[in-house]
Structure 1
Amino acid sequence: MHELGIAEAVLDALERRAEGRPVASARVRVGALLHVHEASFAQSFALVAEGSVAAGAEVELVVVPAELACRACGRSSPVTEPVASCPVCGAVAVELRGGDELVLERLAYRPAGQPTG
């Protein structure tokens, strides 16, 4: 379950950004090619965030497709799986861009004194 490693990376980014302030929620942009299963991620995040500034925080995942650029026809197509040919013209001279990002887009802090969970 690679979601555990991704959850740890997200928690690390949250802790660095929060600087000790309690986190209520966050939004993370994740590339489709990372194949993150949302339920597994939520469970993993809850586990790794226990006892941290992000304990009980809600994390929204925004899945971003990769882009397949065809060198033959010049068209670009969003893809969620690596492909070997252009879905428009069938050419194999393609370039895959993105789809592997993991970006902390937003975080919101919990008001002081508000309980976690």
Structure 2
Amino acid sequence: MHEMAITQSVIDAVCEHSSGRRVHEVTVEVGALCAVEPDAMSFCFSLAAEGTVAEGAVLHLVITPGRARCRRCGAEAVLHDFILLCGCGSADLDVISGRELLIKSMEVSDECAQPADAATLRDR
């Protein structure tokens, strides 16, 4: 299952960019042609996040459909699977989307404010 390795890389990047702040949500864009099973990636996310600042974070997956442009006729087509064939019969396609794997956003906690000095507040 390559989803665990991919998800571990996502967790590593998220933790590195969070600067030690708690991560609450992560949005990842996954291309439909990446051969990543969304349910498996969601399951792996919670396992990979254990013991990190992303533990308990929610993963949002945005699936990008596969799209290709035919080099013969110029038509664009939506690709539902890995069979790359244009309506004109040509297999000479240029894939233009569907292979993405991007961390689009993450929600982290703000740094905590320093507690007020109780003695200073009492003297007011």
TM-score range for the pair, normalised by the shorter chain length? 0.7 to 0.9
Give the Cα–Cα distance (whole angstroms) in 2 for the partners of residues 83 and 102 of structure 1: 20
Partner of 2:90: helix, strand, or coil?
coil
| Structure 2, gaps ≥5 residues long | 113-124
User: What RMSD in Å do the two structures reach over aligned CA positions?
Assistant: 1.8
Give the Cα–Cα distance (whole angstroms) in 1 for the partners of residues 95 and 107 of structure 2: 33
Cα-to-partner distance string for 1:8-61 (whole Å, 9 max, x where unaligned): 111012112101100000100011112222221121111111010100000101
Q: What TM-score, normalized by structure 2, do the two folds share?
A: 0.80
Matching residue's letter, 1:90 = G
Aligned to 1:101: 100
Partner of 1:61: helix, strand, or coil?
strand
Matching residue's letter, 1:28 = V
Matching residue's letter, 1:101 = E
Cα drift, residue 68 of structure 1? 1.4
Partner of 2:43: helix, strand, or coil?
helix
Q: Matched residue pairs, number?
A: 112
Q: Bigger radius of gyration, 1 or 2?
A: 2
Partner of 1:33: helix, strand, or coil?
coil
Task: Return closer, same or farther for 1:54/1:71 CA change in 2, 3 Å cut-off.
Answer: same
Matching residue's letter, 1:13 = A
Identity of aligned residues (%): 34
**1:82 touches 1:96 (CA, 8 Å); kept in 2?**
no
Cα drift, residue 107 of structure 1? 0.7
Q: What TM-score, normalized by structure 1, do the two folds share?
A: 0.84
Which 4+ runs in 1 deviate beyond 3 A? 110-113
Greater shift, 13-22 or 91-100, is seen at: 91-100
